Each structure stands twice: as C-alpha cells, then as structure tokens.
Structure 1
Amino acid sequence: MADPYDVLIIGGGPGGYVAAIRAAQLGLRTAVVEREHLGGICLNWGCIPTKALLRTAEIFHYMEHAKDYGLKAGGKAEADVGAVVKRSRAISAQLNAGVGFLMKKNKVDVIWGEATITKVGEVAVAATKKAIVQPQNPIPKGVLAEGVYRAKNIIIATGARPRALPGLEPDGKLIWTYFEAMKPDAFPKSLIVMGSGAIGIEFASFYRTLGAEVTVVEVLPQILPVEDAEIATLARKRFEKQGMKLLTSTKVTKLEKTADGVTATLEDAKGKVETLKAERVISAVGVVGNIENLGLEALGVTLDRGTIKIDDYGRTNVAGIYAIGDVAGPPMLAHKAEHEGVICVESIAGKHPHAMDKLMIPGCTYCNPQIASVGLTEAKAKEAGFELKIGRFPFIGNGKAIALGEPDGLVKTIFDAKTGKLLGAHLVGAEVTELIQGFVIAMNCETTEEELINTVFPHPTLSETMHESVLDAYGRVIHT
C-alpha cells in the first residue's frame, strides 16, 4: 500500500477541489475522490449552467423590449430551446475540464469512484455504480481508480441532492428536479414550481421570461423566505407584473400525472382546496446532504438533521475526519463551501485560520430582478434586540439605473443605532448580485456608517444607490 496522503477529500465540487488546491499550496500530499464529475453539482448542474440559462432569458427580454431603447428588430424574438441548452452545457463542460487542469497543475491526485471510510485513516474506493447524472466530460484514462487508500486527514465534501417530498417525488419526465429543468427536451407551455427559494425562483424567472405560464407554490407566507420581507415584497410585485402567479401559504398535497401533464391539488392556510393543471412541475423544495454509504454510522460520526455536525474548522467528533460544504449544513452555497474548505485545510496545516462568520456570507438569487443580501434582516435584527437605523434608496433616484432602463429596485441598509455597525444589507434590482460584495467587505472590515458616508462612490454607477442608502439611514440622503 502506498504512503498515506496528508489530506484525502471525498468529493470534487467547489468545496472539495478548492480545499485540494489550498492543501497542495501548503505542501500537503493531496487526493480527491470523485464519483462522476469534477466541479460538482454547482459547476455542472447548478450555479454556472443556470446562470447561462438566465443570461439567455435576459437577452431575450431585451430583444422583446428593443423599442424601449430606441431600436427596431426584425420579426418576433424566438427561443431555440435546443441551442439554449447546448450553450449552457458547453459552458459547464469547459469549466469541468478547467478543474481537471487545476488538479493536474497543483499535483492533486484524482481517484475516480465511490468512497467509503472503512476506518479512521482509510478509504476504500469502488467503481461508481450509478452516477446521478452523466458526467460532462469522459472520465480520463490512466488516473487512480479502485482500491484502498490511506490518509492522515479525511475531508468529506460530498455535497447535496434535491429533496423529495413523500408522495410528490420527481420522476424525471413530468415532475422535474433542477437536473431536468436545466435541459428540457421541449419547452413547456405551463409550469408549476414547488418552492420559492433561490432555485425555484430562478427557474420560474427563466421559464416565465421565455413565455411559459408559471405558477409558484410556497408553503410559507412569504416568497424568498430567507430574504428581508420588504425586499421580498418588492420582488413579488415585479414577478406578478411579469405575469408570474405566486401562491403563498399554500402547499401541494397531491400530484396526479396524466398523458400530457400533471394535475396538482393545492391547499391554502384556510383549508381551501383547488386543482391546477400544468405540462410540467419543478420540485424545488430544498436539498439534503449526501451522507449515505460513507461509513459514518459505523465510525460514530455525529449527524444533525441529514448533515454532518462540525465545529468552526470543519472537524467532526471523530479525530481525523472533517466535513465541509453542503454536507456540513446550511447555508448551502458554493462560496460558503469554498471558504469552509480553505479554513479546514489551513487548520489541518496548523495555520490558525479565522473561523467563518456565517452572518457575513452573502446570498444571491439571479432572477429578474436580481436579489442579494448579507447579514441580518430587519425582523432578525429586531429579534436580536438591536435599536436600528434603516436606510433605503430606490433605483429610480439613480441616473445610471434610469439610463440602463432599470429604474425598479431598492437598496436597504440596517445599522445598529448605538454603534453605527452595519448589521445587514438587502438589495433588489439590476446587477445587485455584483453590488452586494461592497457591503460584505464593509462588514468584514467592521466598517461603521462614518466610513461608508465618507467613501467616494464613482458616478454614474449603480453603486451610488448603496451610498445613498447609508446616507438615508442617517438623515443625509441627497437624491430623494
């Protein structure tokens, strides 16, 4: 048996491959076990390809509204679904190959197959029995494969998969998960989306923009449940203006498949029952960690509601075994997984990294309009007992937003009235997923309102809305 690895990572998604690169940079002998595709769900079936689809929808929207910009376009805009999907898949394939290059560049061994931790310090790898989806690129030849491998430290980065509700399970044909929604054989004329989190709303936005009749069903009273209520309300108005139907405080109790679609039985909070027909249903009711068949129970690794319980540095209760990313619990975001992976391997290498503050992890939803946030919502800040100063600035007061034809939006900032500490920032509107990082940096640097007020923002930019929102919180707003 070969000498043990310093670090062996099970899973080659964003958390796993980033952890592997950082471990290699620190001089640790490193390997990644991957069963189907480097880059994980995010790169192959989530973050990246969905953004490609949403970019297509955005361009389609502009084509349909060319006259609003003084332009004339010949004929009616049409979407070639096959070509749209092909572009999205090609982008994922390109990036998948790129991760393979990074593994080779950093001298990280890639072991193809399914891993089981047989005992502390030992991992058995068997051939993949059944991949969730077909890999984007063929598995390379001549790389490490089945066998038993030793490692001083084992990091579990196996990610998550779509959650299935009992009786409402996806079948891959009429009832989709995000896998099928991302590569439809034909474009559905009508669609029901179960769940209004980021995944559900992004697909609802994509399909509605391209012409489908879309109904979103959310069991909670608010769409985008993790977002600030004021921002979610504004987003809802925009979605409804686009023709999207949103049913909140409503649950799907039954799905009946027919030859050409699905009939959903819906029940609202008052017990009213109705049925709704659609060609397809997307189940977007969350994800669940991939904790099965890893040998965790036999090792005594502590689990918590379908995920692996860890400390601030990725350590489980069993020495030498770590977990990062979606499998280690919420927030289930690629950028959280990446940073968690870096913290974990730096801790293993004795570098004493800072623990991650989950309140400073930004969340982004790439629908139309975009939504982005970081920190506490207004409701959560009040629950925590803070006295608040809240600033708001609408995009209609920003010259760049008007010039872009994107005057509908809002930036909301929440400060501790006693200290000036920025507690949270919540945005809805054009390109806010790019703007949010300014507030994330400010929070990480422990910036107060004084520094933000005295910062010069370039003109004309959308970022000026951020400045004005801070000014508004302290009674100094200029352009409203």
Structure 2
Amino acid sequence: MSNFDIIVLGSGPGGYVTAIRASQLGFKTAIIEKESLGGVCLNWGCIPTKALLKSAQVFNYLQHAEEYGLKASNVDKDFDAVVKRSRSVADGMSKGVQFLMKKNKIEVINGFGKLKAGKKVSVTDADGKVTEYSANNIIIATGARSRELPSLPQDGKKIIGYRQAMTLESQPKKLIVVGSGAIGIEFAYFYNAMGTEVTVVEYLPNIVPVEDEDISKQLERSFKKTGIKIMTSSEVTKVDTAGAGVKVTVKTAKGEEVLEADMVLSAVGIKTNIENIGLEDVGIVTDRDKILVNDFYQTNIPGYYAIGDVTPGPALAHVASAEGILCVEKLANLHVDPLDYGNIPGCTYCSPEIASVGLTEKQARDKGLDIKVGKFPFSASGKAKAAGTPDGFVKVIFDAKYGEWLGCHMIGAGVTDMIAEAVVARKLETTGHEILKAIHPHPTMSEAVMEAVADAYDEVIHL
C-alpha cells in the first residue's frame, strides 16, 4: 500500500500550488523540498525582486520630488536596508506557504528527493538519513536555475547569477549585465536606479528579444535616457577576473571591445534541475534539457508527471501553477481542457513595465494574416500625464477578417496589472468592437487599451 496518493517533488509556484489543489480534491498529498518552501520564485525570484524594484522606484520618486511640487533634500539610499527589506518580504511569503501546507494537511518532507522505479521516492535529509516514500502518482516540479555560459563561468563573487545579485553586501559602482530577458532587464533597471553604472550586453539584435519590436525599441529609448548603456548583437567572448574588478571582452559588429566593471551579472537564461533526480533510473524521457510530457503532463512512464520549468512550455511561475492544477484535476477525472500556450501573458517589471500576450506584429505578418494594428501612446493619456509617467504605449493586433484579438503589447507604468484584460478577452474570443464598446473608466491607464483598439479601427478620439 502506498504512503500517499500524490507526492510532489519541489515546492515552487508549480509544486506548492499543485499540492494544495491535490489536497482540495481529496488526495493524500506530500511535498518534498530541499531548501525553502516557495522555491526560487518566492525566495530568490519573482517576489524579492519586486521588493528591490519598489525600493528603486521610491528612490527615483524622491530624487524627482520637485517635478511634483514637493521638496525632499539630502535624499540617499541605504543599500543594505533595501536588501534586508527584500529578504524579509521573501521570508514572509515562504512562511505563508508553510501555513498553507498545514491548512491543507499536506505533509512537508525536507530533503533531496530522488525518483525510483515502482512509484517511489527516496529522500535524503540534511543529516544524510535516507527515507523511502511511495505514491500512486509522482509529480516532478523541480524547476530551474541560472544557466552558465562556457565563456562566463559564475564564481559567485565577480561573475554572479540572479541569486547573488539580490543579496550583495555592497553596491557595485559598475555592473555589466549579460542577457536582456526579464531577469537581466529588471536587475539593470534596479542597479541603475540605485546609482550603479550599468551596461547591458545582448547577443540578439533587440533587447527583451521575445517582445514585439516596437516594445524593444521603446525600452531601449527609456533605458538610454536613464544612462544605461545598451549593446545589442554583441557577444561576451572572454572574461578576465585577475585584477581588482573584471575585464569583459565583447565581440560586436564593429570588432572587439574590452569593458571594465566591478562585477558581471550573467542572465542568459535558465538550466532545468533534472540532474540526479532519478530520471534515468525510472526511464523518463528527456529532450534538450526538458522532460517530455503529453497535454496533461504525463511522462512516458505511467504514474510519473512533470510540470513547470522542467517541461517544454514557457518558464514562468503562473504557467507552472496552471499546469500543476490542470495535472491534478485530470488525475481527479474532472473535465479539463489542455492549456492554451498561445494565451500566456509575459511581464517584465522594470520601469517602464512591459506586459504582453499573443502574437507580435512580426509573428502575425509571418503567418500571412491580414491584420489591423492600433497604437495609443501614454503621452496622450490624462492619467499617465498626471502621474508623471508618459513613457510608453499600448499596441493591439487584430485579425482584419474576423476581428479576433491576436496580440496585445504594452510598455508603461503599471501595465503588468493591465494585461489580464487582454488575456481574459482572448480566452472569451472577444472581438475588437466588443472591447471598443466596453466602457473603460476615465481617467485610468486602462483607457489606453480601448483607445489603441479604436486606433486599429480608425475610430480613435484622443490622437
């Protein structure tokens, strides 16, 4: 007889959410975690970075108080206190997950879990003691970590990953950020706002390369305005850490350039945590660093499932949570539809923020679709002007024939809280005219969505 109905390996936003939903559905559930409940997202990712970014934003406001008719003199920052606040926010969130585990009667097993054949998991605790558990179903949610480039080996001191970037003892005077995805861009914004001289090196022609090209260009303009140096179509070929700081050789279209800094942040993507967890012992198939699964997250071996960053979908916290919920609801024989990976929002929390869902303009055109494109700049928004945040715009893409909302791309203040409108509308198969006729409150940033749609249909009022 098995110990549990479901064992979840890993307690990030994939794992702990899965465990809670499993428990709600009446499954006897356990979760295995080698470090802190909440995983990278709560402890070293999504949540503590937002705390850092808020400090940077408040610091920026104080420095520009005069623009709002206010006086704030001798404004300074305490870098150590900023980091401490971020850590306390993360600790509070992790304690919140502990409470949720108790509330939902989920057994938390601390230690490193390794899969075994026959639906078993052996767990090695901190003292090296090994205990074996069994379950009817095992769900792998071990997540990912910072990927290392051969030309940029992380030493945790001069060449760091996101974890160290969050808890530095002292603020670097000069920082080079390699990679301009969400992680690299958020840290570039944070350190620049705190007064560090920041250079961003991106291999591809545009920063935030997964975004619509107009978004990339706007962010580059906004970043350059704040003094961040941007190098695109550039590759780090060599790093020299011998001296006091670090010398980075960057290959560009114009030739080689040597940059000097105190530190390099490597933000070139992620590497899944699939080594040494027993995949080979069980015979679970992987491809290109990912565990292969079907629409309901079943691996090739019955009784073993995988969700989140270890599977081929987008490596995002909200995706991992959705996948886990879907996985256990299917196990409970509820009627569920496969996840629509074409309708997943992506957010970057720099300033201005970025939020997007669906196709970019280029993707829509490459598919040969006949499209209508609308754009509304926040410089024409009363709320944005009053708030002192006129940077950015909302861009919408519709299918010209059927009115289907193909994509929505935003850059501006608070847009990460606005993108859900487009996600829900697309889920409900809303047309452009329905958005246009849904009254948006004035004055708000969200009006820009309605105005952008109006622009697509040549009915824009405020442009």
Q: TM-score, normalised by structure 1?
A: 0.95
> 281, 287, 290: which one pairs with 1:298?
281
Where 2:195 maps in the other structure, the secondary structure is coil
Q: Is the 8 A contact 2:115 2:281 kept in 1?
A: no
Change (3 A) 1:146 1:104: farther
Work out the CA distance in 2 between the residues paired with 1:82 and 1:214. Answer: 19
Shift of 1:268: 1.1
Work out the CA distance in 2 between the residues paired with 1:238 and 1:184. Answer: 26
Aligned twin of 1:35: 34
Where 1:452 maps in the other structure, the secondary structure is helix
1:330 aligns with 2:328: no
Aligned twin of 1:110: 108
Work out the CA distance in 1 between the residues paired with 2:318 and 2:246. Answer: 36
Shift of 1:73: 0.8
1:65 aligns with 2:48: no
Where 1:67 maps in the other structure, the secondary structure is helix
1:21 aligns with 2:20: yes
Shift of 1:260: 2.2
The one-letter amino acid of 2:57's match is E
Work out the CA distance in 1 between the residues paired with 2:392 and 2:201. Answer: 24
Aligned twin of 1:134: none
Work out the CA distance in 2 between the residues paired with 1:111 and 1:432. Answer: 39
Q: Is the 8 A contact 1:13 1:42 kept in 2?
A: yes
Shift of 1:129: 8.1
- Is the deviation greater in 34-43 or in 2-11? 2-11
Work out the CA distance in 2 between the residues paired with 1:121 and 1:462. Answer: 51
Aligned twin of 1:447: 430
Q: Is the 8 A contact 2:212 2:360 kept in 1?
A: yes
Aligned twin of 1:239: 223
The one-letter amino acid of 1:38's match is L
Work out the CA distance in 2 between the residues paired with 1:129 and 1:279. Answer: 38
Unmatched 5+ stretches in structure 2: none
Partner deviation per Cα, 1:180-239 (whole Å, 9 max, x = no partner): 100111000000000000000000000001111100000000100000001110110000
Partner deviation per Cα, 1:404-456 (whole Å, 9 max, x = no partner): 00111100000011100001100000000001111111111111112101100
Aligned twin of 1:153: 137
> 153, 160, 169: which one pairs with 1:176?
160
> 78, 98, 107: which one pairs with 1:80?
78
Work out the CA distance in 1 between the residues paired with 2:329 and 2:196. Answer: 48
Aligned twin of 1:458: 441
> 144, 147, 163: which one pairs with 2:147?
163
Shift of 1:479: 0.3
The one-letter amino acid of 1:440's match is V
The one-letter amino acid of 2:54's match is R
Shift of 1:309: 1.0
Q: Is the 8 A contact 1:120 1:321 kept in 2?
A: no
Work out the CA distance in 2 between the residues paired with 1:285 and 1:398. Answer: 35
The one-letter amino acid of 2:136's match is K
Partner deviation per Cα, 1:365-403 (whole Å, 9 max, x = no partner): 000110010001011111122111000000011110010
Partner deviation per Cα, 1:108-129 (whole Å, 9 max, x = no partner): 0011111111113111111248
Work out the CA distance in 2 between the residues paired with 1:128 and 1:330. Answer: 32
Work out the CA distance in 2 between the residues paired with 1:161 and 1:364. Answer: 19
Shift of 1:243: 0.4
1:363 aligns with 2:356: no
How many residues get paired? Answer: 463
What aligned pairs does 1:146-295 form with structure 2 within 5 A after superposition?
A: 146-269=130-253, 272-295=255-278
Work out the CA distance in 1 between the residues paired with 2:398 and 2:252. Answer: 36
1:472 aligns with 2:420: no
Q: Is the 8 A contact 1:36 1:128 kept in 2?
A: no
Where 1:20 maps in the other structure, the secondary structure is helix
Where 1:14 maps in the other structure, the secondary structure is coil
> 88, 93, 96: which one pairs with 2:94?
96
Q: Percent sequence identity over matched residues?
A: 53
Work out the CA distance in 1 between the residues paired with 2:101 and 2:41. Answer: 17
The one-letter amino acid of 2:102's match is K
Q: Is the 8 A contact 2:2 2:136 kept in 1?
A: no
Work out the CA distance in 2 between the residues paired with 1:191 and 1:403. Answer: 34
Work out the CA distance in 2 between the residues paired with 1:378 and 1:436. Answer: 17
Aligned twin of 1:438: 421
Aligned twin of 2:120: 122
Q: Is the 8 A contact 1:112 1:146 kept in 2?
A: no
Q: Is the 8 A contact 2:353 2:414 kept in 1?
A: yes
Aligned twin of 1:137: none
Work out the CA distance in 1 between the residues paired with 2:340 and 2:181. Answer: 22
Work out the CA distance in 2 between the residues paired with 1:186 and 1:329. Answer: 37
Q: Is the 8 A contact 2:354 2:412 kept in 1?
A: yes
Work out the CA distance in 1 between the residues paired with 2:441 and 2:337. Answer: 32
Shift of 1:146: 4.2
Work out the CA distance in 2 between the residues paired with 1:454 and 1:405. Answer: 28
The one-letter amino acid of 2:134's match is R
Work out the CA distance in 2 between the residues paired with 1:291 and 1:329. Answer: 13
Work out the CA distance in 1 between the residues paired with 2:351 and 2:81. Answer: 22
Change (3 A) 1:101 1:221: same
Q: Is the 8 A contact 1:195 1:219 kept in 2?
A: yes
Work out the CA distance in 1 between the residues paired with 2:305 and 2:244. Answer: 47
Change (3 A) 1:105 1:432: same
Shift of 1:259: 3.8
Work out the CA distance in 2 between the residues paired with 1:3 and 1:251. Answer: 52
- Is the deviation greater in 101-110 or in 306-315? 306-315
1:348 aligns with 2:346: no
Where 1:225 maps in the other structure, the secondary structure is coil
